[in-house]
Amino acid sequence: MYGNTASWPTLRLGVDLQRVGDVVSAAILFKERYLARVFTARELRDSGLPDDTVQAWAPRLAARFAGKEAVMKVLRHDDAALPWHDVEIRTGAEGAPGVILTGHAASLAEDQRLSGFTISLSHDGDYAIASAAAYEWEARPGAAVSFEGGRHD
């Protein structure tokens, strides 16, 4: 038994599925307006735009859209205004994706004591999927966690 359960975090999960074909259609139809409105310059670059073929960048971009939606589900933003750029999916130095929150998304996370955002992306054929997770702290993140055995981190 833990001595101080109030300081333990609850895990929040979000998942989203995205059709790659829908992303391609939107990019063809609305071109730069779609790409720039939804994705950050970093996301477009990480996905291989503008140099790679559509077969290469489209599934990566679809996975990033799914990633944004998965993070938004974790944020449980209800009806708060949330521009897509506020949730950025970045490819890290070792290839693993990460989440950068800015603007309203960062405020929502802070207000709900959410931290430790993690994301995983995948795609196969015409579908891309993303799952996101974060810790929801009832007490302040970083607060001491008490164990009955006497250890205090």
Partner 1 sequence: MTDTGTTRDTAIRDILKQFGRMPADPGSIDRDADLYRAGMTSHASVNVMLALEDTFDVEFPDAMLRKSTFESIAAIDEALATLGATQEGVA
Strand residue runs (E) in the chain: 9-19, 87-91, 97-101, 114-124, 127-137
* Candidate ranges 1-9, 30-38, 118-126, 137-145; the one touching partner 1 (CB under 8 A): 30-38
> CB under 8 A: which stretch of 1-9, 43-51, 74-82, 112-120 binds partner 1?
74-82
* Collapsed DSSP state (helix, strand, coil) of residue 101: strand
User: Site for partner 1 (CB under 8 A): how many residues?
Assistant: 22
Closest approach, Cβ 4 to partner 1, in A, equals 37
Residue from 82, 132, 89 nearest 107 by CA = 82
Q: Which of 19, 42, 45, 113: binder of partner 1 (CB under 8 A)?
A: 19
The answer to whether residues 109 and 75 touch, using CB atoms and an 8 Å cutoff, is: yes
What are the residues binding partner 1 (CB under 8 A)? 16, 18-19, 22-23, 25-26, 29-30, 33-34, 37-38, 65, 69, 78-84
